[in-house]
Structure formats: C-alpha cells, structure tokens
Structure 1
C-alpha cells in the first residue's frame, strides 16, 4: 500500500510538473500578447497615454550647441585669392524647444495638429565664452547678393559694397551671426537663424495611431500640405516618416527609419548601426547613411536635390544640399559638420577642416519596444557659396567657387535619470518580471516532471524486484 501511495504521489508530481511547464510555455505567447497590447495602447497619441505625456510636454531639455568658423586669413583671400583657412570656436550653447507643443487639436481622421514654438536661451555654463565673443566670418549680404543677382548687376553691387565700406568678410559677435544684426547693405536684420525667438515651426498634422498603431507619429501634413514644394519633383518633395522624436512600437532593426526635418527641408532615412545600453535601457542606434548626401552620380535618387549645375560641378559634388528654395531665397547650403561624407574637393578649397565620424554624424537611439527616441544628436552645418566675379572688387581675385562653412550645430537631448528610472520601472521591470515568471515556471515544471517521472520508474522497478 505504501509503495502504491508513493507511486501515485510521484505520478501526481509528474502531472503537476507537466502542468507547470505547460503553464510556463503558455505564458510566453500570452505574456507577449499582453505586452504588445499594453504597449500599443500606451503608444497612441491621446490624453492619458504614456506617449501623449511625452509627446505634448517639454520636460526633456533640448540643447543646440554651436561651433562658429573663424576665418584666419581674410585679407589673403580677398587680395591674393588664397584658400580660406578656418578655425572652429565653440560650443556656444542654447536651450531650445523648452516650450510645449501649442494649438494641439485632435481631428476626426485620427490625426493631431500642433505647432512647435521656437526659442533659444543662452546657457553660459555650457559655453566656452559669452555671446559677445567675435568671429571673422563671411559677409552674408555680399555673398547672398552675389549669388542672387545676375552678372549684369555686379557693377552696381560693387558700388554698394564700396559705399558701405563692406568686404567679403566681416567681424560679428556670436549673437549677431546666429540671431541677427542690422546689415548696412540690405538695411535689414539678417542672421543665420533670424528670425527665431517668438516664431514657430509648422503647423504639423500627425497620425495618432488610434486606428492603426503602425502609423503613429507619422506626419500627415506640414503647413497644411501632404508634400513639399521646394524641389519640383515628386520624389524629393515627399514627406516621409515622423519628426524623429518617436516611431511605431516594436521597431524592426532591419527596416530603416524615416523622418522629416524642416531644418533641411527634406525627408531622410536612418539605418540600424548597433545595439547599445543607455542608462540601463537597451536601445537601437540609427544613423544616416553616406548615400543621404551622396552626389547623383553615386545615388541617382538625389538628382532632384541638385539645384545649381555650375556651383556643384554638374552635380558631381557630394555632401552639400542647396536649401535656397526653402530659406526665403538665401543661398544657404546644408551639410554635415566639416563636410563629413562630402567630396574631398570641399575640404581642399577650405583649410582647417577635420571631419570625424564620432563627433560629426547624426544619430538616434530608439527604444525598440516603444519606438521612443531616448537620445539623439542632430548635427548640421550651414555654409554659403561665393565665387569669382570680375566686376566685384572683393571677388575678382577669387579663382573658383568656394562653399565656406559658417557654423555647425549639434541639437541634442537625452532622457534624464528620473525619466530613465520611470521607464525602467513602468516597462522594462514588468517585462523582465514576466519573462522571469515564464522561465521559472517552465524550468521548474520540467524539472519536477522529470524528477518525479524518474523516481516513479525507480520505485516501480524496486517494487518488481521485491515481488520477484
């Protein structure tokens, strides 16, 4: 009777172990379904969700660091046609995007509209010096007028330049160059980012993801339009992806991420580079490919971004994007800092540039489960073109077209410790706990099942031996 009870107990133990193992196995897909359902619910942009709280607020500080290029040999450039030699000065740091989204409206077609108020507050503690530091830089009015006016007007332009005691270069403070100064030639306020304070970007219309989570944060319209009007081409005028601050949940690292940047007036894609840890949270790092600013010779898709055949050497130059069509006619070219991934020619005619992949590339660190961008660095360089002109005194010694860097910026933000702890507590720890429960049940069940089963056969064999 005792033997029989032991065997029954062992059989019951085996069944119990099997049930526990099956329960652990069942919890894997069930747990994944629970996680997926919860994440998708919280990723929708509507009041009360985690995504909305992050989307609408301005709690994470965004900074713009500026490095300005100081021209060391302005007289030699004008009088001898020498290549300009530059030295960067910076960073000069400003807190930007500290204001929450404004005019937020939810629309019947599952989109939300808003504008992004813009402002910049100087941060002395994060800067190498005050805003009153000076640099020798390109004269924006001279270079701009040269680029925009036909050669027939160059004699008149030369008279204006001489009458205002202007030259190809000028001395300006950091604050003036970035945010504006009263120009003696144009009799107006000009600057690289003027006007900025008190303005806004947008309006934007983005999908909330309520009806289709794969569309969450994707831009539906910008300034009321579903496409751009800068490039006169269907492909280049497409508005693709989000604004880069978030993407659809459950990111597939084999699929590029698309985002639109109004700073460069176009959409771009970023590709998976590596899996990293950010304050204990696993993130996917995405970065721009060299093909983004490649010449049309290497990337035919970029053909429609080439605006000037003369200055780009018949569209064979890589690394610079002419955005004059979307910057009120100002002849500004956008590139990566120090012409990273650009043609060697750009660095041959401007001395003192030293591109570095680690410090000058643009990247995003995206948490793959939620699709939230937890850390990013958007690095952009502003350049202007000048070239030879026999009827303009300050340009008649110039030998070739030169794309001169004026400043480059690093717009960056990363989640703070408080947000990281909340993120780990509310999401990562719960997922980890569910996975631990799944594995414990599965492993414990398997162990109990096999131990009891083996013990059962041992007892059964012993019982047969005793009976024999």
Structure 2
C-alpha cells in the first residue's frame, strides 16, 4: 500500500477506516469464580475456578476535534460492546458467579481513609448499602457485574453510610453511576466504557513522517500520566492500538507499544517472528510476561508496583 494511503488525511484510503473501524475487536472477559465461599468464611484457603471467556465485540469510532501543530490530530474515542453469544459457547450473560465484592472493599477503604475510627461501624452501614450482605463476596449475574450494574442503596439516616455515599458522589469513580432516582448508585466493571468517550487524544498523523504515524502525543492534555508518580511509568508510548506505522524491513521494532487509558499506562507487544497470513508476509507480536511482570522479575516495572491504590479506581 503506498504510504500516502495510510496517513491520517481525509483523502487517504485509511482515513474512514481509522475514524470508524470496519471490523470489531474481540474483548474477552474471564471470571475467577469462588467455589468454597462458606469454607473461606471459616478460615480456609480460597478455591477459584476460571470461567470464560465471555466474548464481546468491541466497536470503535472517533470524533475529530481538530488538527494541531507538528502534524497532529485531536479526537475522542467511543467504544461500544455487544455480547457475542455464538462465540461464548455454553456461557451466558445470565450465568451466576461468586466473586470478591469490590465495591464493599472500596467502601471500607473509603471509611478508613476518612475516619479510621468508624471502620468498626461500617458493616452496619454497609448492610443497608448492599442487599443481602453476609460476607465480602458477591453472588451476581455476569451481565450485572460487567455492564448492567449492581444497585447500591444510599437512602438511609446512617451517618457512616452518608459518609460513604458522599465520598462516592464527590469522587464518582468510573465504575459507579448514579441511579435514576438519585437515591443510590450502580456498580459495574465495564459499563463506563459503553457510556462515555475517552480522550481527547492528540496523535501524530504521519503526513510528515509516516513512521511516526499513530504515536500518542498527549491524553487529556497531559504528556505524562501522573498516577504512577514516576516519569518512566507515566510515559505515553505508541498508538491507541487502532493504527500502527508501517514496518521498515531494515529496522523491525522488537516491541510495539499502545497506550491504554483504562490502566493509565502504555503496554508493549514483543516481536515473535514472521508469519504468513492469507499468503501475506507479516510480523507477529504478542504481549509477553515481562510487560506485566513483578518488579522482582523485571526491575524496570518497579514504578508500576504501588503499595497503595486509590479507591477511585475501584
């Protein structure tokens, strides 16, 4: 394909495909189902069963906000997810699973951050916050855990519960959304991906140098993500994973990077080797263990290993 056809320019063949991906991505979710809930409550070790993948089709579409200096384009990215029943085999969104109650744990952390002395009173309040709360586990349908949401009640005169709900309202973590009657919240792991655009991204178009195509220059106006407290871990490397520059056969990169705003960092896929796909010679990359390895295995990852994690990410 001639280079002008892959640059982000309204006259190029790639432009419309870049704005709206013609083929969806596969988004696969695995759940670790707790199989011995009662035994854990009596002090035994957890036993988990991996369930999955639940396969969703991820559609991506961009809205261009404008063009900037240094060959850049600014845009918002919209994702939509649809359950692919035929590719999920015997699995269904109506499946019941038992998982750690993430919002329960986050609520305890919120109370501990605000007033540690109230942690002992938190369970009484959380009994009103959640329905049928008996332990730190959640018995839930997959569709509610992933996208539909689990209702959390805030209609109470309990002081501790008022603190918890006030903290959620002030922070409004992406996994929470207000209920229609504004008397509570819904917690879900991924519904925010369907509800809101991400960005703005600022990306190099590749019209000056095609080998810079797709590189993310800034996200939400920031050139470094400050969540990690480290310039190295906060670097914006690579593209948004929807487009990559052509590969120079004389200088094949050992890694391809993409920036993932959901985890506030860039990831890389390592070169495995050459492959033939539909009789087309190509380079095959996959995410290696080193990309997400512990700092003991990969010292360069040490700034990703934070001891304290803000409950705003729950």
Report TM bin, short chain. Answer: 0.7 to 0.9
Q: CA–CA distance in 1 between the matches of 2:117 and 2:40?
A: 24
Matches within 5 A, 1:237-256: 237-251=234-248, 252-256=251-255
Partner in structure 1 of residue 76 of structure 2: 115
Partner in structure 2 of residue 290 of structure 1: 289
Q: CA–CA distance in 2 between the matches of 1:119 and 1:272?
A: 29
Matches within 5 A, 1:309-328: 324-325=309-310, 328=312
| Structure 2: tracts of 5 or more residues without a match | 155-164, 166-183
Aligned to 1:182, which of 141, 144, 151?
151
Q: What secondary structure does 1:307 align onto?
A: coil
Give the structure-2-normalised TM-score: 0.79
**Is residue 2:172 matched to residue 1:211?**
no
Partner in structure 1 of residue 169 of structure 2: none
Question: Residues 64 and 73 of structure 2 are in contact (CA less than 8 Å); yes or no, is this contact kept in structure 1?
Answer: no
Deviation at 1:93, TM superposition (A): 2.4
Partner in structure 1 of residue 119 of structure 2: 154
| Structure 1: tracts of 5 or more residues without a match | 1-37, 310-323, 331-468
Deviation at 1:109, TM superposition (A): 3.2
Change in Cα spacing, 1:295 to 1:208, as seen in structure 2 (3 Å) is: same
Q: CA–CA distance in 2 between the matches of 1:305 and 1:149?
A: 25
Q: CA–CA distance in 1 between the matches of 2:51 and 2:44?
A: 22
Deviation at 1:210, TM superposition (A): 1.2
Partner in structure 1 of residue 5 of structure 2: 42
Q: Which has the higher contact order (CA 8 A, sep 6+)?
A: 1
Partner in structure 2 of residue 200 of structure 1: 197
Q: CA–CA distance in 2 between the matches of 1:47 and 1:269?
A: 29
1:217-243 CA deviation, whole Å, 9 max, x = no partner?
Answer: 100111122111211211111111112
Aligned to 2:102, which of 140, 147, 161?
140
Aligned to 2:137, which of 153, 162, 169?
169
Change in Cα spacing, 1:200 to 1:254, as seen in structure 2 (3 Å) is: closer
Change in Cα spacing, 1:134 to 1:261, as seen in structure 2 (3 Å) is: same
1:379-434 CA deviation, whole Å, 9 max, x = no partner?
Answer: xxxxxxxxxxxxxxxxxxxxxxxxxxxxxxxxxxxxxxxxxxxxxxxxxxxxxxxx
Deviation at 1:107, TM superposition (A): 2.7
Partner in structure 2 of residue 65 of structure 1: 28
Deviation at 1:162, TM superposition (A): 4.5
Give the structure-1-normalised TM-score: 0.55
**Is residue 2:70 matched to residue 1:86?**
no
Change in Cα spacing, 1:62 to 1:258, as seen in structure 2 (3 Å) is: closer
Q: CA–CA distance in 2 between the matches of 1:183 and 1:101?
A: 33
Deviation at 1:175, TM superposition (A): 0.9
Change in Cα spacing, 1:123 to 1:269, as seen in structure 2 (3 Å) is: closer
More strand by share: 2
Partner in structure 2 of residue 220 of structure 1: 217
Query: Which has the larger Rg?
Result: 1
Matches within 5 A, 1:314-463: 324-325=309-310, 328-330=312-314
Q: What secondary structure does 2:2 align onto?
A: helix
Question: Residues 98 and 139 of structure 2 are in contact (CA less than 8 Å); yes or no, is this contact kept in structure 1?
Answer: yes
Q: CA–CA distance in 1 between the matches of 2:28 and 2:299?
A: 33
Aligned-CA RMSD value: 2.3
Partner in structure 1 of residue 178 of structure 2: none
Question: Residues 61 and 79 of structure 2 are in contact (CA less than 8 Å); yes or no, is this contact kept in structure 1?
Answer: no
Q: CA–CA distance in 2 between the matches of 1:220 and 1:69?
A: 36
